[in-house]
């Protein structure tokens, strides 16, 4: 059950880490080359990195939106959640309604 929650989270962390590595690398390279060769290279590199990150997060957002909308939990999954809720505290005797 943890894999269902963990996998999207790990993919988001991977995407964020990848974007950080790419943006930092391009920023250092473009800043150096912009100071040595062509001064417009630094802002052009920043714009390209921004567009890349924007497209990457739009894709992630679209994937997460499709996961969050229009999907219903299976009966087995709902039963597991109810069992966890009931086992959580001995004062809980039953669950009146599940959505």
Query: Tens digits of per-residue pLDDT, 57-77?
Result: 898 888 778 777 777 778 888
Q: Could you give the CA distance from residue 3 to residue 58 in angstroms, rounded to a whole number?
A: 24
Is residue 20 one of the residues assigned to a domain? yes
Q: Is 95 part of any domain?
A: no
Report whether 60 contacts 12 (CB < 8 A).
Answer: yes
**């599940």: which residue's tokens?**
98
Residue 72 lies in domain: 2-88
Residue 13 lies in a domain: yes
Query: Whole-angstrom distance between the N-terminal and C-terminal Cα of the chain?
Result: 19
For residue 52, the tally of other CB atoms under 10 A from its CB is 14
99 is a domain residue = no
Q: Considering its fold, how many domains does the chain have in total? A: 1
Q: Is residue 94 part of a domain?
A: no
pLDDT at site 47: 93
* Predicted TM-score of the model (pTM): 0.56
46 domain-assigned: yes
């Amino acid at each position: 059950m943890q894999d269902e929650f963990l996998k999207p989270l790990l993919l988001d962390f991977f995407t964020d880490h990848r974007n950080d590595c790419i943006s930092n690398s391009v920023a250092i390279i473009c800043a150096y080359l912009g100071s040595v060769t062509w001064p417009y290279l630094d802002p052009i590199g920043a714009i390209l990195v921004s567009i890349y990150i924007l497209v990457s997060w739009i894709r992630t957002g679209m994937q997460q939106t499709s996961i969050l909308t229009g999907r219903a939990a299976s009966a087995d999954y709902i039963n597991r959640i109810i069992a966890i809720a009931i086992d959580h505290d001995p004062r809980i005797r039953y669950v009146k309604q599940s959505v």
